[in-house]
């Protein structure tokens, strides 16, 4: 009897506390417009958890005015869309939520039709959207939070020209897709704009004139050399399918610039505004074993390089100094973290978001994921997610309002 009385007393106290808290901030008394503004500032994952509170909160997700309120939030902590090493149509997408520091399974229908899941690969991301390349050379644009998607036809489905880079730029109301085609030094680009729902004309790029630094690579074909372990190694870099089109788009002094890696591991920049390109000098000699990737952080391009030297492995981050015209190191993974990669023939694939960078390290022997704060130079190793291995990631902002159509679309 005493125990039951104690429980009842505790329930009354909890009820009183709940009533007191609700009286301090009575959300139910807010008008719809103000309620939507308050809810729009919640982290995306928290919002979906709280939609079960009541029908009124749940209905806000489908409200046009709520999406407008969400678009007023300047930025959201990034999510990282993980790419499976062995994708299957039955797999739900996995993301890493940087705001909560955990893995999440997106429990909604597949982002692309299951019959074409194995034939589509993610190739670009921007804002709140992801871009998949289909086997027919067309594209699927999707909002990974809402699972809304649409398809785009290829601008030149019969073209035999290689595509070294695919980049994407997205705002809340529209997006554009940029394709770089051809081989050095014969490069071209073409853009799709969702506001007009049209592909633009193909435009040629010329080599940047009067550059103080000349490219060190004039080879037209791959070369081979023996590694320290006696393996035959090609100078032509090998990349995972999702990353072979990887590029980053930056806005520098009002000009659009796309950076990508050539087939020989050199960094190439394409200035779409000036319609020229520039090939940067190598970070390491051509006959070197290394893994390399590009990231964009806070509007700047950085190079992430994993190399081996003196029986140890190192992961370093570099930036290009425009004034002095050479590469400068800005960050390095602590040796006790990078040493375990030595001799494992690992491949690194990276993606940046704000001041953060995710690094995926893969080989037949090891699979590791790390997060780095480039400003503080802090490195944190992330735990694994279930029994799935990931080869790379694409960063995006989890935005409910991110539109897959143009301004006049739905």
**pLDDT single digits (tens) 151-162:** 999 888 767 888
- pLDDT surpasses 90 at 180: yes
Please give the average per-residue pLDDT across 297-310, as a whole number.
90
pLDDT at 1: 47
Lowest pLDDT segment from 54-58, 75-79, 305-309: 54-58
3-state SS class at 56: helix
0.85 cut: is pTM over it? no
Where is 15: in which H helix or E strand?
helix 2-24
Confidence band of 112 (pLDDT split at 50, 70, 90): low
Helical segments of 311-374, H only: 335-338
Instruction: Please tell me what DSSP assigns to residue 385.
Output: B
3-state SS class at 215: coil
Contact (Cβ atoms closer than 8 angstroms) between residue 233 and residue 278: no
- DSSP letters, 230-298, are S-EEESS----GGGTT-EEEEEETTEEEEEEE-TTS-EEEEETTTTEEEEPPPSS-SS--EEEEEEEET
- pLDDT surpasses 50 at 223: no
Q: What's the CA gap between 209 and 410, in Å, rounded?
A: 44
- pLDDT surpasses 90 at 165: yes
pLDDT at 217: 47
Q: What's the CA gap between 248 and 5, in Å, rounded?
A: 65
Confidence band of 329 (pLDDT split at 50, 70, 90): very high
Tell which residue, 54, 78, 83, 192, has the closest CA to residue 127.
78
C-beta atoms surrounding 35 within 10 Å: 19
Contact (Cβ atoms closer than 8 angstroms) between residue 383 and residue 129: no
Find tokens 């799709």 and name the residue: 192
Tell which residue, 150, 215, 211, 155, has the closest CA to residue 181.
155
């Amino acid at each position: 009897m005493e125990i039951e009385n104690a429980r009842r007393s505790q329930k009354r106290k909890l009820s009183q506390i709940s009533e007191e808290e609700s009286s301090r901030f009575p959300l139910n008394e807010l008008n719809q417009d103000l309620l939507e503004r308050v809810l729009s500032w919640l982290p995306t994952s928290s919002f979906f958890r709280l939609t079960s509170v009541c029908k009124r909160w749940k209905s806000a997700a489908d409200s046009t005015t709520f999406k407008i309120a969400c678009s007023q939030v300047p930025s959201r902590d990034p999510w990282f869309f993980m790419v499976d090493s062995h994708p299957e149509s039955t797999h739900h997408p996995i993301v890493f939520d940087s705001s909560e520091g955990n893995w999440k399974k997106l429990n909604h229908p597949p982002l692309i039709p299951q019959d074409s899941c194995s034939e589509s690969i993610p190739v670009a991301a921007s804002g709140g959207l992801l871009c998949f390349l289909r086997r027919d050379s067309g594209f699927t644009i999707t909002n990974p939070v809402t699972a809304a998607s649409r398809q785009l036809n290829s601008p030149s489905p019969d073209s035999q020209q290689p595509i070294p880079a695919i980049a994407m730029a997205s705002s809340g109301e529209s997006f554009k897709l940029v394709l770089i085609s051809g081989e050095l030094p014969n490069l071209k680009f073409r853009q799709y704009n969702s506001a007009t729902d049209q592909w633009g004309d193909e435009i040629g790029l010329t080599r940047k004139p009067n550059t103080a630094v000349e490219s060190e690579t004039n080879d037209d074909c791959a070369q081979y050399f023996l590694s320290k372990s006696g393996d035959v190694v090609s100078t032509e870099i090998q990349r995972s399918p999702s990353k072979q089109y990887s590029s980053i788009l930056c806005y520098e002094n009002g000009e659009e610039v796309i950076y990508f890696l050539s087939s020989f591991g050199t960094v190439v920049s394409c200035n779409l505004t000036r319609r020229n390109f520039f090939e940067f000098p190598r970070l390491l000699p051509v006959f070197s074993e290394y893994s390399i990737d590009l990231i964009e952080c806070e509007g700047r391009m950085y190079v992430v390089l994993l190399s081996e030297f003196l029986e140890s492995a190192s992961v370093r981050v570099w930036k290009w100094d425009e004034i002095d015209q050479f590469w400068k190191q800005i960050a390095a993974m602590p040796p006790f973290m990078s040493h375990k990669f030595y001799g494992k023939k690992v491949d690194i694939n990276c993606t940046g978001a704000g001041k953060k960078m995710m690094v995926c390290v893969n080989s037949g022997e090891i699979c590791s994921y790390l997060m780095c704060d480039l400003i503080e130079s802090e490195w944190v190793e992330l735990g694994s997610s279930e029994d799935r291995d990931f080869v790379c990631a694409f960063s995006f902002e989890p935005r409910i309002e991110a539109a897959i159509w143009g301004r006049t679309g739905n």
